[in-house]
Amino acid sequence: MILWTIQSEAWYAELLQKGIIHGTRKHAMRDGKFSLFAYHWLMDKMEESIGRRPFRACYPVWAWYQHMDSKRRKPDLRRAGFLTRGTKGVRVEINKDDKDVLLSDFILWHFPFSYRRFIGQNEGESMAFEKMLEDNGLDTKKLEELPKDIQNVIIKSWDRTLDMDFSDPYHTSPKASKSIQATFWTLSVDEIVRVDKFISR
C-alpha cells in the first residue's frame, strides 16, 4: 500500500538515525490539550485490526492514503497547512503492507476527535439521536458523564469512521471522493520509497 506522511525534518532525521520510528503521546495534542479519549479508541481499533502495538508508549504514525480524492491521492506540497508556516518538512512516500495499516475517513474522524458525537446511518438518525439527548438534558461534549448505555451507542457509531464503503451525503462522501487517513504502529527506513523536502506555507 502506497502512503504519504508529512513530517518535520527533525522527525525524518530521527527516523534515519534510529532506522525505525513510532508515534508518540505528544502527537495527540489538540489546542494545547490532549485528546486521548479518541486516540485510545482508535488505538484499540488498530489492535483489533492490525495487531497489538509493540510497546505501551507506542502511538500511531499518521499518513495519507488519499489526501483529496482517488485522483489526487498524494498530498500537494503547494497547499498550505501541512505544518506550521515556515517549517522545513518532508513528504515521505512509503510502501506499507496492507495488513499493517488501518484506514479512516478524515472527515468522520472529527466526530470522535473533536465533537464526540453520534454518527448516524443518515441525517434522520443523527438528528433524532441529538434530539433525544437534548430532550433528556444531556450534553455530548461531556461524553464521559453520559449514561453508560448512551456512551456505548455513540462510541459504537464511530466504527463508521473506519468503513470506507460508508457513504451518506449528510456525513461523508463516497470512497472515491473521501480524504482517507492511514495509521500504523511503526515506520522503518526500508519502507521509504521517496522523500520530498519542502517549506510549509
Distances (CA, A) of 91 to 30, 113, 195, 200: 22, 24, 6, 11
Residue 190 in grid coordinates: 526500508
Residue 95 makes CB contacts below 8 A (sequence gap 6+) with: 1, 2, 3, 191, 193
- pLDDT digits 0-9 by tens, 181-194: 999 999 999 999 99
Q: Tell me what the mean pLDDT of segment 102-107 comes to.
A: 97
Q: How confident is the model at residue 135 (pLDDT cuts 50, 70, 90)?
A: very high
Check if the beta carbon of residue 178 is closer than 8 Å to that of residue 80. Answer: no
Residue 31 clears pLDDT 60, i.e. is over it: no
43, containing H or E segment:
helix 36-50
Lowest mean pLDDT of 93-97, 144-148, 172-176, name the range: 144-148
**For the whole model, what pTM was predicted?**
0.93
Q: Tell me what the mean pLDDT of segment 152-160 comes to.
A: 96
Residue 26: predicted pLDDT: 75
